[in-house]
A = this chain, B = another copy of it.
Amino acid sequence: MPDGSRPIKTKPANISAERLKSFVERIEKLEEERKAIGGDIRDVYSEAKGGGFDVKVMRKVIGLRKMDAADRDEQETMLDVYKQALGMV
């Protein structure tokens, strides 16, 4: 391979480094935001607790509401599965 071709190769590498850096930074920024929201959630629980509510029960209730939604989804997918199994495309 002739010498002249090397620089041609190094540039894509730099570009990749640039792009990698860009991806990583975008992700890190998003993770920060997500973490911040976690802090907000904690604050709301604290506020509720200060207002005399039982945090444990609140968590449980919120969890239940999620599970109910999940159950509904599950039922739908089950329906699909059974329909498929019965050839009701």
Contact call A41/B45, Cβ cutoff below 8 A? no
Given A23-B44, A23-B47, does the pair A57, B81 have CB atoms closer than 8 Å?
yes
A34-B30 in contact (CB<8A): no
**Total copies of the chain:** 4
Compute how far the CA of A56 lies from the CA of B65 in the bound complex, rounded to whole angstroms: 18
**Residues of A with Cβ closer than 8 Å to B?**
13, 16-17, 19-21, 23-24, 26-28, 30-31, 33-34, 37-38, 40-41, 44-45, 47-48, 51-54, 56-58, 60-62, 64-65, 67, 71, 74-75, 77-79, 81-86, 88
Q: Which single residue of chain B is at the shortest CB-CB distance from A31?
A: B41
A83 vs B65: C-alpha distance when bound (angstroms): 9
